[in-house]
Amino acid sequence: MQQFKGADDLIPLLDSIKELSFLAILISSMVYRRHLKLTKWKRKLTIGEWTMYIATSTALPVYAVLYFAFLLGTK
C-alpha cells in the first residue's frame, strides 16, 4: 500500500484536533449546565431542559472520573 508523503504528519494533527474538539464540547456542556441551573432558579424547566440538565449533571462527573482513571492507567 502506498503511503502519502505527509501522512505521518497528518495523524498527530488530527489527534490534536480531536482532543481540542472534546475540550470544546466539555466546556460548552459545563456552561450549558450552569445556564440550566440558573434558569431552574428563575422558572420551572421544560421536559427537554430537565433531560439536558440530568444528562450533563451525570455525564460531566462520569467523564472526569473516567479520564482520571485512564490517565492513571497509562504509564
pLDDT at 1 over 70: no
Average pLDDT of the segment spanning 8-19: 83
pLDDT tens digits, one per residue of 25-74: 999 999 999 999 999 999 999 999 999 999 999 999 998 898 888 888 87
**Amino acid occupying residue 36:** L
The total of other beta-carbon atoms located within 10 Å of residue 69's CB is: 9
* Rg, C-alpha atoms of the chain: 18
Nearest-angstrom CA–CA distance, 54 and 36: 10
pTM: 0.74
